[in-house]
Each structure stands twice: as C-alpha cells, then as structure tokens.
Amino acid sequence: MSRRSWIDPAFEGKDDEAWGDLTAEPRGVDYTEVDVAGMPGMWVTPKGAAADRVLLCIHGGGFLSGSLYTHRKLLGHLAKRAGVRGLLFEYRLAPVATHPAQLDDVTAAYRWLLDRGIEPGHIAVVGDSAGGGACITVQLRARELGLPLPGAALLLSPWVAMETSGDSYRTNGELDPFFQRDAVATIASAFLGETGDPRDPMANPLYAELTGLAPTYIQVGGDETLLDDARRLADRARRAGVEVQLEVFPGMLHTFQMAAGRAPEADDALDRLAAWVRPILHAER
C-alpha cells in the first residue's frame, strides 16, 4: 500500500511505492496506527519487545516518496532482531513541501517520543537513503533546540551530498542501475526548492559541525553511486570525534537491506545492525 492508498483507499491507479514489496513479512510483529505530532504514524511492536526502547525510523525515498507501508516490514525485521519497538511516521514530501519542512517534521516526531517519557539514550534513529541523512540533521536540529540527543544512529546507504559531488558517481556509474548523477541532482533540486542551498548544513551534513553526535553505524553497498556519501560522512564524523562504524558490503546496491527475509545479504546486514545497537540501548536479550 502506498501513501496515496493511505489517503484515498478507493484509489486503483498505479502504486508507485510498491518497492516495499521487496521485503518479506516478518513474523511475530504487530502494527498499530498512531498520530505522531499530527502525522500518520505506526508502532511496530515485535512480540516480547522492550516497550521503553525505540527505533525511530526515518523512511527513505528522496524526500519525494515513501510511507508507513514501504518501510513497516523492514523496520519490523530490525526491531525484532533488536528486541525493541519501532516507530514510523509520514513527514511531508517534496515538491509540495520543500526543505526544511521534512526536518521540521522529523524533529517533531523525535520530540514526540521524548514528551512521552522515552529516555533519549533509549532511542536510536534509523534511516535509509534520504532518511539516513536525516538521522544526522535531526540531531543537529535537536542540538540547536537544546534537546538531548538519541543514544545511537543507524544509517543505511545515507544520501547527504546534495551537490552530487562524490567520485563514486563515476566509478560505480555502470554498476548502479538508477542513482545516476543527473537523477540524484533532480531529486535534490525538488527537495531543496528554488531557493535552497545544496551546502546548507541542515540539508547536507557534510558541511555541518558534527561534534557530540551519537555513536553511528553506517552500512552502504559497494556498487552504489552513493558510496562516497557514506565514506565522506563517516570521515567527517570521525574527525569530529564521533564514534563511527562504516561497513561496505561488496557487490550490494542502494538500500539492499530492503530485501530482508528474501536475501541472505540483507538479513546478515540487519543482524549486524541489531547486534551493534542492542548494548547501546541496553536491550540485550
């Protein structure tokens, strides 16, 4: 089901968010719709999960697409492995809403969790692609507002370089079937709007001061054109004193973890994410 289907259940046209079908249905996970700071949201609750530990999921889709339903199963697989709850929400999308609308919404969702008594150290932000970049910028905004930062950040193929400057666009250009430089530049332009700056630190954290951010684990495919986004972000974070683990998966493409439950490479990646974040959230089983 796509976001269009959420708004208009009677709609029978083409579903442009069917990429959620890549993910197999996890067993033993319940889904409950919830209002998150005025946005459609969903609790993703594995059987026996710790109620006071949360993965706050910022879905990918270039800030142009994505929904509860493209990512609920992926979050279900990860939350089940980590033994915690997950929370999904639907931020405003470009081109109707441009930066910083998405960051405002992500920050509101993070504050919503804090206001409900979830300790910041018991929250891990997790996001893929555009959502991966937002896992960093929401911390920058939280720091700016004087809010406590989350305990950890899990980034899957993060997209951060809005000016599409990574050399991997060239070196992996023949390996990546979709994320060519021109396509990504078009998406960035829609997100930033007519007056947006691709070097705005709140949109592109490669230009931000990253000191003090949460421990961060980054996964990226070795064959994707956004490989250098992950490498450059990890390097800048390390130089700022952030605890960073970067893992490159040879032969994998952008957000390959979406094949959870169908591909052993995706399942292995999620196992590693969960093993890393459990002790940080004190969610050891």
**129 assigned to active site:** yes
Q: What pLDDT score does 285 carry?
A: 55
Q: What pLDDT score does 6 carry?
A: 44
**254 assigned to active site:** yes
Q: What pLDDT score does 283 carry?
A: 78
**90 assigned to active site:** no
Instruction: List the catalytic residue out of 71, 90, 122, 224.
Output: 224
Helix axes 264-281, 68-82, angle to 10 degrees: 60
Write the pLDDT tens digit of every residue in 87-133: 999 999 999 999 999 999 999 999 999 999 999 999 999 999 999 99
Q: Mean pLDDT, 10 residues at a time, over the chain (285 residues)? A: 46 65 97 98 97 97 96 98 98 98 98 98 98 98 98 98 96 95 97 96 98 98 98 98 98 98 98 98 77
Q: State the pTM of this model.
A: 0.94
Q: What pLDDT score does 18 carry?
A: 83
Instruction: List the catalytic residue out of 2, 65, 129, 168.
Output: 129
Report cis status (omega within 30 of 0) of the bond before 205. no
